[in-house]
Amino acid sequence: MRSRTSEPGEGGAPVQGKLDHEHRWMGLTWRFASREHCKKFAAAPERYAPQYTGYDALSVAGGALVEADPAVWTLHDDRLYLHRDRDAQAAWAADIPGNLARADAAWPALRAQVEAAPGEIVVHEDDLNPRIYRGALAKTPLLRGMIMLWDALGLGTRALMWSADVALGEDEDVSFSGPLGIGTMVVSLALGLGLFLLLPAAVAGGIENLLNIHSALVTNFVEGFIRLLLVIGYIWLIGRVPDIKRLFAYHGAEHKTINAYEAGADLTPQSVARFPLEHPRCGTGFLLVVVVVSVFVFAFLGHPDNLILRLGSRILLIPLVAGIAYEWIRFAAKHLDNALVRALIQPNLWLQKLTTREPGLDMLEVAICALQRVLVAEPNITPVVAEGAAAGAAESGAK
C-alpha cells in the first residue's frame, strides 16, 4: 500500500497529515493536516495532488518509478512535482519543458503498473453496539463475557464474509454476504458443536461404560482431554493448508502490532516486526481455557447416564463456560506482573504457536492500518498491559 501522509506547508516545510483527514483517490490514501485541506483536495484532486501520484518526477521522465521525498518539491504552472532528492530537483529545474514532455509521455505505461500493483489495503468500518461495550452489560461479570463473545463471533463472521467478497472481486457473481454466507456459518457451527463438544462427551461416555468408571470427575477429565486433543489436532491440521498459513500470518501480525502498541513503540512495520507473536489475550488461549473450565463445570453437575441429557447439558452450559473463561482471560491480562499468573497462562502462549506465523512487512502494514483506524474512532483507548510486562514482551521479541 502506498499513501501520501504529508502535504507542502507554509514556508516549504511538509506538514504531517492526520488519520482523521483522509481521502481515497487513485488507489492511494491521502492524509491532510486539516479538514479544510481535505475537502479542497476531494473537490479537485487533479489540481492539488502531486503529479505522477507523487513519484519522483525526474525518474518518471526516465521511465522509472522511484519514491520521492515530500520535503523536496517544485511548483510549475500551479502543478506540484516531487523529487527524490535535491540533485533530482536541480536536474528537473534545468530543463522543465523537456523533462515534462518526457515524463508525460512515459507516465501512461507507468501509471498502468501503479494501478496493477497488488497490496492495496481496503478498509471497512462499522460501529460497535454501545449497549454491549459501554453500557451496564460491559460491567456485569459472566454476563458480559457471554454477550461480548457472541457479538465477537458475529463480527468475525461478517468480517470474513466481507473479505471474501473483496477477494472475489466485482467480476465474480458470488457473494458471501447473502444466503451462501449464512448457510456456511450454520454448517460451520453445527460441525464445530458436533466435533468439539458432542463427540468428546459421547466418546468419554463410551470409555466410562467400557472401563466401568463411576467417578464423574474422572469421566469429565477424560472428556476434556479428548476435547483438547481434538482442538490441537484440528488447528495443527488446518495450519498445513497454504491459505490458512497465510491467515495465521495475519494473526501473528495482529499480535505483534498490539504488543508494539502496548509497549509504546512506533507503529511502523520495521518496528512492529521485532515484537513477539504471542499475546495473553488471544482467542487461541481462550479455547484452551474453555476446555479446562468445562472440565470443572461439567464435573460439578455430574455425568448423566442418559446420553441425550448429557449432550444437551453440554450445549446449554456453553454460555456459562465461556463467561468464566472470559473473566479469567480478563483477570490474567491485568495481572501479568504476577509470577503465578504468568505461569498459568504459559500454556496459552504455547498453543498460539499453532495459530500464528511470522508475517511479512505488508501484513504488518495491514494490522497497523486496522489498529490506527480503531484509535481514530476511539481516541481515549490506552494500553491495558502493565508497562513492565509490555517491556518484557518487547525484549523477548527483540531477542
Domain residue spans of the chain: 3-116, 130-398
**pLDDT score recorded for residue 20:** 64
Q: With a cut of 80, say whether residue 265 has pLDDT above it.
A: yes
Joined grid coordinates for residue 364: 504488518
**pLDDT score recorded for residue 362:** 82
Q: What is the DSSP string of 319-366?
A: HHHHHHHHHHHHHHHH-TTSHHHHHHHHHHHHHGGGT--PPPHHHHHH
Reported as a single tens digit per residue, the pLDDT across 220-242 is: 888 888 988 998 999 999 999 98
Reported as a single tens digit per residue, the pLDDT across 354-378 is: 999 999 888 898 999 889 888 877 7
**pLDDT score recorded for residue 19:** 59
The Cα–Cα gap between 361 and 93 comes to 36
The Cα–Cα gap between 333 and 316 comes to 28
**pLDDT score recorded for residue 395:** 32
Of the two residues 21 and 269, the one the predictor is more confident about is 269
Q: What is the mean pLDDT of residues 122-126?
A: 75
The Cα–Cα gap between 177 and 202 comes to 35
CA angle 192/234/283 to nearest 5° reads 70
Q: With a cut of 60, say whether residue 1 has pLDDT above it.
A: no
Of the two residues 127 and 24, the one the predictor is more confident about is 127
Average pLDDT across the chain, whole number: 80
The Cα–Cα gap between 37 and 348 comes to 48
Reported as a single tens digit per residue, the pLDDT across 63-96 is: 998 888 888 889 898 888 999 999 999 999 999 9
**pLDDT score recorded for residue 257:** 95
Of the two residues 168 and 103, the one the predictor is more confident about is 103
Q: With a cut of 80, say whether residue 102 has pLDDT above it.
A: yes
Contact assessment for residue 280 and residue 349, using Cβ atoms and an 8 Å cutoff: yes
Q: What is the DSSP string of 58-72?
A: HHHHTT---B-EEEE
Beta-carbon count within 10 A of 100 CB: 18
Reported as a single tens digit per residue, the pLDDT across 159-210 is: 777 777 666 654 445 455 567 667 777 787 788 888 888 888 888 888 888 8
Reported as a single tens digit per residue, the pLDDT across 20-74 is: 677 767 656 677 888 888 888 888 887 788 899 889 999 999 999 888 888 888 9
